[in-house]
Structure 1
């Protein structure tokens, strides 16, 4: 009894790699190996690199906007009628200036996700599920090993980013201390340059840290979708199909094939019989066929049905035991008559054509 329980325990242990079907099912549910740190780092890097080229445009806009505010809007009376158009104009102009930055972030973010997991729309992953708001499940996620790993990662990133930013500011300390003695434009350019350097440096650091994170996420994903030996057996059984269902499917296919075969019997030129054990229907069109073709054949009960259907449609039956047995054994439905049986079949067809002419 204990030995049986041990076997049952080991059969349920997740020791097997996920099958292609299991991977596909997990992907449909949105369960993929993906590191959000990769997306964050790439988006941040792309935005700050873009700002090096786009910063002049942004600076000119800020300059023109401030100049316009202090030369135009400052003369307006502050009331409900004037505030609305001021905010609408500033918001509209700001939108046009910020759209390129937002587009860069969106394209890079989408591309980073596509590189990691490919293009796949998974509505099931965003579907509303009660278990997502279950407080018990939430506590389990908060106090899980995965949550602990994420906490350690966050603390590590905060520490390293803090050290990096402090180092850059320390190196640039002399330049920062003399900002008060520089013009507004020069000071703004210095702060913008320093901000860009910090942004790119932090993004490069996060990208470097994202590599082991992606490796861990891939490992954790593989671990999550592992299968037990019983899961593999169940999946294989499900893919192969239940024996009863397979039997019914096979029976239905045989019935359909039988029905198609019986539909060809009335079109036959002759049915050669054994006389009771075998029945073979032959059809020959001189303009279409190189040799007579077997359109139906059967033994015992099937042979009886072929003979009955042939009589109902006035198809001539010819008894030839040796030929019927040979045709049944050597050829399948849809095959031409074997070459060694040409002469015997030709004699039968000649007899059939002669009999039809006499009846006419």
Structure 2
């Protein structure tokens, strides 16, 4: 029977959605939904859209630079024999940076923005911590030849083949335009080449964007499935976060017992105990130095009332029967509180009776 119970425990299915606490813990460990393909596709598309918007600036600038370079070709040998080549190399580097930095800035901003949209702000060092299982050669060998690796390989081949088809088919459709580039000016050639390259890139980026959307949706579904919990895991998490209900019940029981003990210790110091006579018992003490009105120091019902009356009898505390007053005090005044003004007269009569008995 024990083996059957253990088998049922270990084979319990994960049928419950992840709790907010488990999702927070997974996020802190770096287990988040993020598609690199989506960030790459959007950044790729954004860069070439920026290049399209800056096409006149880039084409004119590059043509001007290449024209200047071509004019320097006859003097290249002489240039490298002198110190001018350093200036030439520095000028070439600055020109490349001048046209490349705006595009790199667009790629950086879009990449950060896409990561933030997918993940939000997250800083964790959990993913950087070294793990021994990651350097296990046997486990690495299994991962290389696993079904998951095979699926990823097939996906990569299919994606590369589709991109190659998109590029080749677009170039073939514009082959007549490419053939006339040998007969026109360089500036016109660069314009035609740019239009063809931009067309290829836009179509490839659009394809990657569509693939990335499906990839992100799949990873989101896979992450939700991986984070699913069993009913026992949810119970264990509740115990850890809220505390064991049994332990909390024991603590409350001890607190009640401690409060009851303190209450019973105050009964011998009371001036009078007012009873129902069987169901309620309320101990009252009046100290004019501490309070302007009598204070309820103990009260109880049924068995607690019997204990209060027993302790009062043992310590010679007067017990007065007054059913309406006992019921009202029990329901309206808490332990440690002074009696309300509307009960002053009734309680005063009881105290006067008690004081008269004490003097007698």
TM-score, structure 1 as length reference:
0.71
Distance 1:229 1:147 in 2: 32
Question: Is the 8 Å Cα contact of residues 297 and 328 (structure 1) preserved in structure 2?
Answer: no
Q: CA 1:339 to 1:134, structure 2 compared with 1: closer, same or farther past 3 Å? A: farther
Distance 2:288 2:43 in 1: 74
Identify the residue that residue 356 of structure 2 maps to in structure 1: none
Give per-residue Cα distances to partners, 1:111-140, cap 9 Å, x unaligned. 222332333333323344344333344334
Task: Give the C-alpha shift of residue 217 in structure 1.
Answer: 1.1
Distance 1:256 1:86 in 2: 91
Identify the residue that residue 145 of structure 2 maps to in structure 1: 143
Give per-residue Cα distances to partners, 1:286-335, cap 9 Å, x unaligned. xxx9x9696965779xx9xxxxxxxxxxxxx9997867886455322576
Distance 1:335 1:43 in 2: 71
Identify the residue that residue 307 of structure 1 maps to in structure 2: none
Identify the residue that residue 97 of structure 1 maps to in structure 2: 99
Distance 1:118 1:211 in 2: 18
Question: Is the 8 Å Cα contact of residues 280 and 296 (structure 1) preserved in structure 2?
Answer: yes
Distance 1:98 1:256 in 2: 77
The secondary structure found in structure 2 opposite 1:274 is strand
Task: Give the C-alpha shift of residue 5 in structure 1.
Answer: 4.2
Task: Give the C-alpha shift of residue 44 in structure 1.
Answer: 1.1
Aligned length: 329
Unaligned runs of 5+ in 2: 275-280, 309-316, 354-360
Q: CA 1:219 to 1:82, structure 2 compared with 1: closer, same or farther past 3 Å? A: same
Identify the residue that residue 36 of structure 1 maps to in structure 2: 36
Identify the residue that residue 61 of structure 1 maps to in structure 2: 61
The secondary structure found in structure 1 opposite 2:334 is coil
Q: CA 1:186 to 1:8, structure 2 compared with 1: closer, same or farther past 3 Å? A: same
Distance 2:294 2:148 in 1: 70
Confirm or deny that 1:156 pairs with 2:158: yes
Question: Is the 8 Å Cα contact of residues 296 and 338 (structure 2) preserved in structure 1?
Answer: no
Which structure has the larger Rg? Answer: 2
Task: Give the C-alpha shift of residue 3 in structure 1.
Answer: 3.5
TM-score, structure 2 as length reference:
0.71
Identify the residue that residue 14 of structure 1 maps to in structure 2: 14
Distance 1:136 1:337 in 2: 79
Identify the residue that residue 274 of structure 1 maps to in structure 2: 273
Confirm or deny that 1:78 pairs with 2:57: no
Question: Is the 8 Å Cα contact of residues 284 and 294 (structure 2) preserved in structure 1?
Answer: no
Distance 1:293 1:56 in 2: 95
Task: Give the C-alpha shift of residue 27 in structure 1.
Answer: 1.3
Confirm or deny that 1:124 pairs with 2:123: no
Equivalent of 2:184, from 182, 185, 204? 182
Task: Give the C-alpha shift of residue 348 in structure 1.
Answer: 8.6
Unaligned runs of 5+ in 1: 304-316, 352-360
Give per-residue Cα distances to partners, 1:12-47, cap 9 Å, x unaligned. x33332222222211111212222221111111111
Confirm or deny that 1:234 pairs with 2:233: no
Confirm or deny that 1:214 pairs with 2:216: yes
Distance 1:235 1:41 in 2: 40
Task: Give the C-alpha shift of residue 346 in structure 1.
Answer: 6.2
